[in-house]
């Protein structure tokens, strides 16, 4: 029983990490209607930025997180300028809805993600980076019958704070208002005088902040920071987004938690190398049986 509870705790922190990643996907998909394939690289950049900061200055975790979030925002903005902006030469309705434009940005973000990953690999080497042992988030904490590690608590608290902050930004600020306006109707938002270009930059900044924070938290939790670390969580977060119905943030968060729980429960029954199958299975099942997502509203054909 205790073992199951422990797996649930691990599943919760895993799910929170996927939720942070999935929000970035969801925000960007909502605003631009495209999938950002380089989101996993933002996660990697966050982890490596945190590692560099830790080895250079050894500041407290809170400062590391702040720096990582700032770096993530910068990476998101740069990504948008390089991989997405050049393909928004036409801002009329036809090209906003064009499938070809979507696929062009899909491939350009894929290309940028390859370049970023390989550049990190050349800079740092492809093997696991050594994280200073005292910075690992693995101090055991006894909680009744269950023993969890400090990382579980920290990930949960940071993720919950960021989700709350996101809700505040989206519902109470002008930036959030414009993000919601653009994602509900880009052309209409433009007609009422919203600067869509700036809104898109903000969206990338906010989404990438969350992705980068997830990267450093996971890096310190498992002590595994390596150039291709962002690929698998990126796919999982994408699965969560598709399951949640593409543009629904609560849906994405709930599905990310479901994904995290089911993966940690699956490791009880099968070797952990097969746990990734759970996410891919969820993806295929969702696409076939719930193409609108479990929490999704109306949508174009899928």
Partner 1 sequence: MSDRLRPLLVVAAALVLVLGVVPAVLGALDRSYLYQVANLALIFVLLAASMHLVTGVAGLLQLGHAAFYGIGAYTAALLATEAGLTFGWTLPLSGLSAAFVAVLVALPTMRLVSIYFAVATLGIGQMIYLVMLNWVPVTKGPNGILVTSGLELFGYDLSASAPAYFVVAIITLVSLWVIHRLSHSYYGNALRALREDDQCADAMGLDTVRLKIESFAVSGFFAGIAGALWAHTAGYISPADFAFPQSILILAMVVVGGLGSLPGAVIGALILILLPEVLRPVGDFRNIIVGGVLFFSILLMPKGIIGEVSALDLVRRQLGGAWRGEGTKAGPEVGWR
> By CB under 8 A, is residue 77 in contact with partner 1?
no
**Beta pairing partners, 147:** 142
Nearer to partner 1, 57 or 90 (CB): 90
For residue 282, the minimal CB distance to partner 1 (Å) is 9
Nearer to partner 1, 133 or 273 (CB): 273
Binding characters for partner 1, 271-300, by CB under 8 A (x = yes): x-xx-xx--xx-xx--xx--x---------
> By CB under 8 A, is residue 56 in contact with partner 1?
no
Instruction: Tell me if 248 sits within 8 A of 237, measured CB to CB.
Output: no
> By CB under 8 A, is residue 138 in contact with partner 1?
no
Applying CB under 8 A, among 94, 133, 192, 298 the residue interacting with partner 1 is 94
The tokens describing 66, both together, are 């702040």
Q: Please state, in angstroms and rounded to a whole number, the distance separating the CA atoms of residues 95 and 301.
A: 17
For residue 166, the minimal CB distance to partner 1 (Å) is 24
Q: What angle do CA 21, 26, 30 make, to 5 degrees?
A: 155
Binding characters for partner 1, 16-45, by CB under 8 A (x = yes): ------------------xx----------
Q: Please state, in angstroms and rounded to a whole number, the distance separating the CA atoms of residues 267 and 276.
A: 10
Nearer to partner 1, 95 or 267 (CB): 95
Site residues for partner 1, 170-189, by CB under 8 A, read: none
H-state helical runs in the chain: 2-32, 39-57, 61-79, 93-97, 99-124, 150-172, 174-184, 186-191, 196-222, 231-244, 249-269, 276-289
Q: Please state, in angstroms and rounded to a whole number, the distance separating the CA atoms of residues 235 and 219.
A: 17
Nearer to partner 1, 84 or 202 (CB): 84
Nearer to partner 1, 1 or 94 (CB): 94
DSSP 246: S
For residue 111, the minimal CB distance to partner 1 (Å) is 4
Number of residues that bind partner 1 (CB under 8 A): 47
Instruction: Tell me if 205 sits within 8 A of 176, measured CB to CB.
Output: no
Applying CB under 8 A, among 112, 158, 159, 179 the residue interacting with partner 1 is 112
Q: Which stretch binds partner 1 (CB under 8 A): 71-79, 115-123, 129-137, 172-180?
A: 115-123
Q: Comparing C-alpha atoms, which of 92, 79, 74 is closest to residue 36?
A: 79
For residue 191, the minimal CB distance to partner 1 (Å) is 19
How many angstroms from the chain centroid is the CA of residue 175?
20
The set of residues, in sequence order, having a beta carbon less than 8 Å from that of 2 and lying 6+ positions away, is: 145, 146
Q: Please state, in angstroms and rounded to a whole number, the distance separating the CA atoms of residues 213 and 192.
A: 34
Q: How many CB atoms lie within 10 A of CB 157?
A: 11
Binding site for partner 1 (CB under 8 A): 34-35, 83, 86-87, 90, 92, 94-95, 98-104, 106-108, 110-115, 118-119, 122, 231, 235, 238-239, 242, 271, 273-274, 276-277, 280-281, 283-284, 287-288, 291, 301-302
């Amino acid at each position: 029983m205790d073992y199951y509870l422990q797996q649930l705790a691990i599943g919760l922190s895993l799910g929170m990490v996927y939720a942070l990643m999935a929000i970035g996907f969801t925000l960007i998909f909502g605003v631009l209607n495209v999938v950002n394939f380089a989101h996993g690289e933002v996660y990697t950049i966050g982890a490596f930025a945190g590692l560099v900061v830790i080895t250079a200055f050894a500041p407290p975790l809170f400062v590391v997180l702040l720096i990582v979030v700032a770096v993530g925002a910068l990476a998101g903005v740069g990504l948008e300028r390089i991989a997405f902006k050049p393909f928004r030469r036409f801002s009329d309705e036809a090209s906003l809805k064009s499938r070809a434009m979507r696929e062009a940005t899909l491939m350009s973000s894929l290309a940028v993600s390859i370049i970023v990953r390989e550049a990190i690999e050349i800079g740092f080497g492809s093997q696991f980076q050594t994280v200073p042992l005292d910075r690992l988030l693995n101090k055991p904490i006894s909680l009744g019958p269950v023993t969890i590690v400090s990382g579980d608590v920290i990930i949960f608290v940071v993720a919950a704070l960021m989700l709350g902050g996101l809700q505040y930004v989206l519902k109470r600020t002008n930036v959030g208002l414009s993000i919601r306006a653009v994602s509900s109707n880009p052309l209409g938002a433009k007609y009422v005088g919203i600067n869509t270009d700036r809104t898109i930059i903000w969206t990338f900044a906010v989404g990438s902040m969350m992705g980068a924070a997830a990267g450093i938290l996971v890096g310190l939790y498992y002590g595994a920071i390596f150039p291709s670390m962002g690929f698998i969580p990126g796919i999982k977060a994408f699965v969560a987004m598709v399951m949640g119905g593409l543009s629904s943030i609560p849906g994405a968060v709930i599905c990310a938690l479901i994904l995290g729980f089911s993966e940690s429960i699956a490791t009880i029954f099968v070797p952990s190398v097969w746990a990734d199958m759970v996410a891919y299975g969820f993806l295929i099942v969702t696409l076939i049986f719930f193409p609108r997502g479990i929490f999704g509203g109306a949508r174009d054909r899928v």
